[in-house]
Amino acid sequence: MLKLWSTPIVLGVCALGFTACGDDVTFTAIVNIDGGQGSAGGNTGTGGSGQSDAGNCRDQDTDGICDAVDSCPLDPDNDIDADGVCGDIDPCPTLNPDTCAPAVCGDGTKHNTEVCDGSEFGSATCASELGFGFAGSLSCNACAIDASACACPVGDEGCACTNGTTCNGGLVCVNNFCSADTCGNGSLERSDECEGTDFGAATCATELGAGHTGQLRCNACYINTSGCGFCGDDILDIAAGEECDEGDTNNLDGCDSNCQLEPVGGVSCGNDALDGLEVCDPPDGTPATGAGCNATCNLKGDVTTLNAAIDAQSMTTDNTTIYLGVNGCNTGGPCGVAAIDIAACTAAPGTSACDPTFITGGSTSNCSCSSGTCNSGLTPAPDTVDGSASTATFGYMGTMTTDGTTIWVASQHVLREINIATGDVTTVTGTRGSCGAIDGDRSTGLLHDARGLTYWNGLVYLLDGCERVLRSYDPASGDLVTIAGTRDPDNGVTQSAPYTCPAPCSGACAGEPAAPVAGLGTAAIMVSPRYMTADNDGNLFIIDTNGEAILKYDTVSTQLDVVISGSVSATPPTAYTDSDAANTTIARPRGIISDGTSIYFGEQHHATIRQTVLSNVQTTTFVGVQGCDATGGNAARDGFGADTQGVYHTGIQDGTCNNPPSGPAIFHQPLGAMSFNYKYNSIFAVDGTRLRRIE
């Protein structure tokens, strides 16, 4: 018997059943080619037959013996001896699969483990090795391909050239490669990195590395990776299609392994068992709102004051940060956009960790305020100035939204853009002093009363309150387009250029319709659209404040529907009933957010935040004591849930209520600056001068 070699081989294939993983015995393969008896040391599992077949030498059961009998009944496609079939585990990767003899480099035969041998190269060519246009002869040196004899002749298609020179055969030189045509002909050629939506085999992963996802962009036939992101890096890459990013790729934590939002709560809320993403589940079979658990079992209603001395008109959040729109015109304080680190602040509420740090502005010199008064407050001047973080000025900071890189702020007649990294401020559409819902590009589009900013799926949606329409702004193109609502400008707007704005404090937005009316696109009617949110599923929910209604706009079908209608019979409105879609009544709601499963909205005159579950349109009071606000000697306080049993409340806000030492949280007036943060499964809300967290 001629024994070629004997060496220990750690197969790592315990799952296949022919060794005992963890038995502390190393499997040793002995290969014989003389047709005689062989042996195998170690644990062979089922045991080999010990037979060999010199004519068809294959180690079928990886027992180290050339045998035709498969004593370990593996899938016949798993050709364990590396004969070129994909999917098997090869204990002897250097053997010739046909003879069980070592593959010898230089024998003129390309074996499975060789890229070439002699004149055999498999399917390899100069073009496959070096790219389109390359031709010539490959050579094989030490079983490695040598393409040094390949060339791409200067002037031929796909080959190098110098821009401005002439290529062969009427070809043109584009991006320093000879091309049959110029960029934009719809054909992906060697001179193009991309053509339109054709990127060849290129992806975010091939361009930036494994794990990168998103959509490549093509700019002048060059690949642009700005739409790529890395799921799990704790950076929200909305341009890459991420809806969330929590720094991992785990499921069942609100953000799945593909960085898409998971439905909050659980599928069995009310069964007295924590399922899915539930954080609570009441024991009586029905969600017990007001008792430390909301209607979808994803929030307890635990209210904590993070900072009791802020001066913010608006707010938005991303994965890591709360951004506040600060207007000190009424208080003599600074103006600008400030940031609070969520992780640090929530870990130490009420401390300096919750103090805002300005990313742009930050002093009284950054304020642009008028000297006149209107409704007991200073009216912002219409001459805010764009510029750097230190020179830009701010007045009215009505509403804001972010994609994680940019913050958009609505400032009456203009929409402004703030670069989070630099703090630079730029007006992107609208003109100071001109009012109207006029569609156009960055230089021609006009706004009147921009509100309700919401970023979703690459667009900034906004409400033009006094014009009673829903509009979209495209940050990429700069286009401003009216998409829903019948334009009904107030009486103070000139209906032709230069579209002069009404005088300050002139009762703008006069002449409102009686009630909102459902319809398709611009056929629908809104009364006083003020606040808006997205459910991350293509729907926008709108607070029609003076219309006492909540509306839903479908971004795909363009249908605008009335979800809940309220009562406009009293001032302040007294209607307040928690029920189903047909019987719920609301009273001048302000502010709205969504967690994808529900919408939450503030009740200005009742000092509560209410929840409407989207699947069944059931409305409940989530937190607060109806009619009991932090005025008239009542203290704003933290607490759990809502007074659903009516123990403490007196009904309409009147500054008096039974104010026990503990119980549900008491709000001042939640007036619209709210944000739901998926990573922290919390609502953050501005309540008067307080920044509050609701878990």
**Who wins on pLDDT, 215 or 595?**
595
Percent of the chain scored above 70 by pLDDT?
Answer: 72
Q: How far is CA 313 from CA 327, 335, 338, 452, in A?
A: 7, 11, 12, 12
**Interacting residues of 465 by C-beta distance below 8 A, sequence separation 6+:** 448, 449, 450, 451, 452, 509, 528, 529, 530
Give pLDDT, residue 427: 94
Average pLDDT over residues 51-62: 42
Give pLDDT, residue 421: 93
Average pLDDT over residues 635-662: 60
Reported confidence tier of residue 13, pLDDT bands at 50, 70, 90: very low
Average pLDDT over residues 610-625: 90
152-186 tens-digit pLDDT: 888 887 788 887 787 888 787 876 778 766 677 78
Give pLDDT, residue 64: 52
Query: 402, 339 in Cβ contact below 8 A?
Result: no
Give pLDDT, residue 354: 97
Give pLDDT, residue 46: 30
Average pLDDT over residues 395-410: 90
Q: Which of 16, 103, 104, 93 is CA-nearest to residue 59?
A: 93
Give pLDDT, residue 27: 36
Percent of the chain scored above 90 by pLDDT?
Answer: 30
Give pLDDT, residue 592: 95
Q: Is the pLDDT of residue 44 over 90?
A: no
Block residue for tokens 């994808």: 596
671-690 tens-digit pLDDT: 679 999 988 999 999 988 89
Q: What is the token pair recorded at 199?
A: 């990127």
Q: Is the pLDDT of residue 534 over 70?
A: yes
Give the range among 451-465, 470-484, 643-657 with minimum mean pLDDT.
643-657
Q: How far is CA 572 from CA 528, 598, 605, 691, in A?
A: 16, 26, 7, 25
Give pLDDT, residue 483: 97
If phi > 0 it is left, if psi is from -120 to 50 it is alpha, else beta; for residue 691 that is beta
87-100 tens-digit pLDDT: 444 444 444 444 44
Give the range among 108-122, 382-396, 498-512 with minimum mean pLDDT.
498-512
Q: Which of 683, 654, 649, 653 is CA-nearest to residue 664?
A: 649
**Who wins on pLDDT, 16 or 346?**
346
Give the start-end residues of each E strand in 278-421: 302-307, 312-317, 321-326, 335-341, 357-363, 369-374, 377-380, 399-402, 406-411, 414-419
Q: What is the token pair recorded at 193?
A: 């990195």
Across the chain, which distance is largest between two alpha carbons, in Å?
108
**Interacting residues of 573 by C-beta distance below 8 A, sequence separation 6+:** 548, 566, 567, 587, 588, 605
Block residue for tokens 């027992």: 63
Burial group, residue 676, by CB count within 10 angstroms (0-12, 13-18, 19+): buried
Query: What CA–CA distance (Å, rounded) separates 449 from 434?
Result: 11
Cα-flanking dihedrals φ and ψ of residue 363, to 5°? -140, 170
Query: What CA–CA distance (Å, rounded) separates 118 from 139?
Result: 8
- Sort strands 670-677 and 312-317 into parallel, antiparallel or unpaired: unpaired
Give pLDDT, residue 393: 92
Burial group, residue 306, by CB count within 10 angstroms (0-12, 13-18, 19+): buried
pTM here is 0.67
**Who wins on pLDDT, 439 or 383?**
439
Q: Is the pLDDT of residue 80 over 80?
A: no
Q: Is the pLDDT of residue 508 over 80?
A: no
446-465 tens-digit pLDDT: 998 899 999 998 899 999 98
Give pLDDT, residue 2: 31
Q: Is the pLDDT of residue 566 over 80?
A: no
Strand partners, 397: none
Give pLDDT, residue 637: 81
Give pLDDT, residue 166: 79
259-303 tens-digit pLDDT: 887 777 766 787 788 877 888 887 644 444 445 788 888 999 899
Query: What CA–CA distance (Å, rounded) separates 695 from 678?
Result: 11
Reported confidence tier of residue 656, pLDDT bands at 50, 70, 90: low
**Rg for the chain (alpha carbons), in Å?**
34
Cα-flanking dihedrals φ and ψ of residue 613, to 5°? -75, 125
Q: Is 410 helix (H, G, I), strand (E, B) or coil?
A: strand
Q: Which of 578, 564, 585, 567 is CA-nearest to residue 290?
A: 578
Give pLDDT, residue 412: 75
Strand partners, 326: 312, 336
Compute the CA torsion angle 657, 660, 662, 667 (nearest 10 deg). 20
Average pLDDT over residues 430-439: 86
Which ranges of 131-225 does DSSP label H, i.e. alpha helix?
A: 204-208
Average pLDDT over residues 575-596: 87
Query: What CA–CA distance (Å, rounded) separates 88 from 85?
Result: 7
Buried b (16+ CB within 10 A) or exposed e, 17-56: ebbeeeeeeebebbbbbeeeebebebebbeebbeebeeee
Q: Is the pLDDT of residue 199 over 80?
A: yes
**Who wins on pLDDT, 552 or 373?**
552
Which ranges of 240-392 does DSSP label H, i.e. alpha helix?
A: 342-347
205-249 tens-digit pLDDT: 888 887 788 888 887 677 878 778 888 877 777 667 777 777 788
Give the range among 128-132, 163-167, 301-305, 441-445 with minimum mean pLDDT.
128-132
Give pLDDT, residue 503: 63
